[in-house]
Amino acid sequence: MGTTAGRRPRGPRRAFTEDEILDAALTLLDEGGPNAATVRGIAAKVDVSPNAVYTYFPDKAAVFRALVERLLGQVDHGVFADRGQPWRQRVEALALELRARLTAHPGAIGLVISAPMAGPHARALNEQLLELLAEAAPTTFDAARAAHLLLVYVFGSIALEVADHGQAGPLPPEAERAGSRHRASAAAEPDRFPRSTAAADVMAGYVSTEQYVWGLHRLLDGITASANGNSQRSPSSTAGDTTGH
């Protein structure tokens, strides 16, 4: 039976892989943020039909979950696996590694904090962090609470840093972003916001690695103090404690 006039016969279906889909999704996220990474857009990048994407993923949310898993799987565990290094140094190495990986793809950070970290790479990362903190915390309960606190700080700091840029696409260098923040602070009304005006230099550095590490050290100081102080209290005695005393 001949083909319909004016219609080209279909060629063989192009072979493609799951990684190609994730590569395309990440490119779109980097270029235009989550709204740009549609199934149709991903399919166009891969040069397949949108329906072909569904052979690997049931929907866009599944693509995003797999992409987060892949990003977390690329974290270099070697930077914090050296048991010969102090635990604090290893936690700092992990925190800096995560910041470097995620700020390289700012469009993906919203995905990381918008869904449960339940995949195998996410669980492996949490397991490593619990193992690290076992050297500082007296109980598994304390280590788990400290691990959660650290992840909230790390991902929250990165998310705020990305949001401060306010645009899709890669982040400019730190110095450029700090300069923009300083100019914005300097343009504020000094009579109305005198403390902000006085702190303009410090506030400009909120997007810096120095500020990130400063905050991390304060958290680790608190974890250390808790381990050396009153952290012997049992989970049952702290579960209902909302006073912090």
* Tens digit of each residue's pLDDT (9 = 90 or more) over 89-123: 999 999 999 999 899 998 888 888 887 788 899 99
The residue ranking higher by pLDDT, 5 or 182, is 182
The residue ranking higher by pLDDT, 234 or 187, is 187
- Quickly name the fold that domain 18-58 has: Arc Repressor Mutant, subunit A (1.10.10)
In the chain, domain spans: 18-58, 77-231
Q: Going by CATH, does the domain composed of 77-231 fall within 3.30.950.10? A: no
Q: For the purposes of burial, counting CB atoms within 10 Å of the CB of 237, is it exposed (0-12), middle (13-18) or buried (19 or more)?
A: exposed
Closest C-alpha among 82, 167, 75 to residue 119: 75
Tokens of 240: 């209902």
Residue type, 78: G
Q: In sequence order, which residues have a C-beta less than 8 Å from that of residue 38 and are 6 or more positions away?
A: 28, 60
Backbone angles phi, psi at 139, to 5 degrees: -135, 165
Q: In sequence order, which residues have a C-beta less than 8 Å from that of residue 41 and are 6 or more positions away?
A: 24, 28
The per-residue pLDDT for range 34-55, each reduced to its tens digit, is: 888 999 999 999 999 999 999 9
| pLDDT for 152 | 94
Rounded distance, CA 114 to CA 104, Å?
A: 18
Q: What's the pTM?
A: 0.80
